[in-house]
Structures are given as C-alpha cells and as structure tokens.
Amino acid sequence: MIRVRGLHKHYKVHERPPGLAAALRSVFRRRYKTIAAVDGIDFDIADGERVGFLGPNGAGKTTTLKVLAGLLHPTSGEVSVDGHEPRRRQDAFLKRIMLVLGQKQQLLWDLPPSETFELNRAVYDVPRVQYKETLDELTQLLQLGELVGKPTRTLSLGERMKCELAAALIHRPKVLFLDEPTIGLDVSMQATVRDFVARYNERSGATLILTSHNMDDVARLCPRVIVIDRGKLVYDGTLAELVTRIRPDKRVVLRFSRSVDAADLAALGKVVRHDAGESVLQVSKEAVNAVVSRALAHLPVSDLTVENPPLEEVMSELFARSQARRVAEAAS
C-alpha cells in the first residue's frame, strides 16, 4: 500500500541574526542554510494498518505526511501510495486519499458544513446514493445532528473537528492521513474522535497514518508506531515493544486504607509519587511479583494495580537518548 525508500526532504531557509544592522544587511545579502526535515527514511505500511508517526516538534512528521499526500515534493527518494506517485496528484490518487490537518480546515467558514459536504460530493464525483448512505452513517457515528445546518463559524472547535472528519470521509478514502486530529479538543471530544477513527478503520479497512503529541491517541489507535527524530527514523515496530525496550520497568500503584510512611515504601522500589492515600512505585519487571507480595503482606493496601510507565515518559526517554547519541557522535 505505502512504500517509502530513501526519502529526503531538504529546505533552504533564510538565516538572519537579530538586530537592526542584521535586518538591513539581509536586504542586500541573504544567508541561507539547508535543513534536512526528512533525512533518508524507509518504511512500508500494509493495507488497513493503523500507524502512528511520533517525534518531537520539528522532527519531520508533518513533512512526511505532506510528502505522502502529494503536497510536498521529495528532494530525493521513492514514494508510492496505493500504486501512485503522490507528487503527480492524479485524480485517481486524490480520490483515494485524504489529509486532515488539525490546525487547518477545509470547511467553508461562512456556510453550514452541509455545503462543504455537498461540494465534496461534487468534486469527488460521489454517486448520490452512495453520498446519502455515507452521510447518514457519518451523521450517526459522529452524532452530527443539527450541526450540519449551522454556519461553521458558529461551531465549537470540537464540533468543527467532527464536521471536518465527516467532510474528509465523504468520498470514502482508502488512505487517511491525520495530523494532530485531537489538538485543542476537550477530553470527551478527544475520546469521541478517537473512537470514530478506530471504527472507520475497522468498517472500511482504510489505512490510517496519524501524527499526534497526545499519547492517548497513539495508545488507542496505533498498534504500530514509527518514531522520527531530526528527520531520521529511530524506531519502527509495535507500541508494546517500544515501551518494553525503552522502559522495561513497571509501575505499581498502591492505594492505602490509612496513611503510610514514605520510608516504608522506599524498601520496595523507587518512589515515583507519594500522596496521603496513594503511592506509585517504579520496579523492574522481574521484581514485580515479589514487591506486590511484600506490599500486600506488610502495608495496609486497599487496592493495587500494575501498569506500564506513561507513554509520555517513554517518548521523553527515547528522545533524550536520541539527543544524547547525537551529542556523543558530534563530539567524536
């Protein structure tokens, strides 16, 4: 379905030091530097897969998505999406894909979303019967109801995102690129969007590629993750394996029936958090059974759970290691 080989995308950017003199100098003589936004990455994505593109800001995630969608031309390398070369933006390709950018919209601002839906029906040449079926399904799944008749400018951010998703799916794309789809949404709306996207993938078998800084999006939607840092691919595999590899330790969450001294916990493992009624311990995977037994035997435990470390911490650790490796390479 998607094949990427040796993808490079370089930008030449104007560089200017601060200050008036530098501003004047830049009028006559400009200095440029080349930035490698994507620096030689390879991957394959199969039909119907759900893949998360992860990385810190400026890692090259959105650039990669835009190259896959045909909006940016690669500096070098091969890209194939559903048998098409995205940069050519042929009709047959455009009718098979959709890119949803959380911070940009395709809805017509002054008109109700229903007008954008109708416009997309016409431009994607969707037969009327199929259009009605799709719209009914989307209206039900996303609970659009009366939203489609209100001017877009009067909708809340969450309502707009639901309508954006509906507009993006009118032509039933087989490849869906989502760039930060839950950015700015409240917790309940984030969950609605995530559930909807997962259900769309299950029902339609569409391939889904998502970028997000929200680890709940990734955990819910992406069994596989591709991590990019400074334009380079630093991990490609399952989310579970990434967590095990980067942070093999476990979190033991203990809730107590009466308060417990922190010193009593330190003997069990590293205390990550200690409140009046709840404490979190970090312990190695091998020591979990022993720690749980000792806690139950010696402490007033009312509830106990064993969890993986939060994904945010896993990603921070991964990026920190990547950064340290770069510094070490630069020094040598």
Partner 1 sequence: MSLRNTARAFPTLLRVGFAEAVAYRAEMLVWVLATTMPLVMLALWSTVARDAPVGRYGQPQFVAYFLSTFIVRQLTGSWAFWEMNQDVKSGALGMRLLRPVHPLLAYAAESLAAMPMRVVVSLPLAAVALGVIGAGGVTHDPVLWVLWAVSLAGAWLLTLFIGLAVGCAAFFFESSLKVMDLWLVFFFVFSGYLLPVEILPGGLRAVVDALPFRFQIGLPVELMTGALGRGEALGMLARQWAWVAVSLGSTALMWRRGLRRFEAYGG
Helices 113-123 and 128-141, axial angle in degrees (round to 10): 140
| Residue among 179 and 217 whose Cβ is closer to partner 1 | 179
Q: How far is CA 316 from the centre of its chain?
A: 15
| Residue among 54 and 98 whose Cβ is closer to partner 1 | 98
| Residue among 125 and 329 whose Cβ is closer to partner 1 | 125
CB of 89 to partner 1, least distance (A): 7
Backbone angles phi, psi at 170, to 5 degrees: -55, -35
| Residue among 63 and 182 whose Cβ is closer to partner 1 | 63
Give contact residues for partner 1 (rule: CB under 8 A): 11, 63, 66, 69-73, 87, 89, 91, 94-95, 97-99, 101, 104-106, 108, 110-111, 115, 118-125, 151
| Residue among 91 and 261 whose Cβ is closer to partner 1 | 91
CB of 15 to partner 1, least distance (A): 15
CB of 87 to partner 1, least distance (A): 7
| Residue among 71 and 271 whose Cβ is closer to partner 1 | 71
Backbone angles phi, psi at 256, to 5 degrees: -115, 155
| Residue among 49 and 115 whose Cβ is closer to partner 1 | 115
Q: How far is CA 70 from the centre of its chain?
A: 19
CB of 99 to partner 1, least distance (A): 6
Neighbours of 252 (CB within 10 A): 23
CB of 244 to partner 1, least distance (A): 36
Backbone angles phi, psi at 110, to 5 degrees: -90, -5
Are β-strands 97-101 and 76-81 bridged in parallel, bridged antiparallel, or unpaired?
unpaired
CB of 179 to partner 1, least distance (A): 11
In one letter, which amino acid is 30?
A: R
103 exposed, middle or buried (CB, 10 Å; 0-12, 13-18, 19+)? exposed
CB of 112 to partner 1, least distance (A): 9
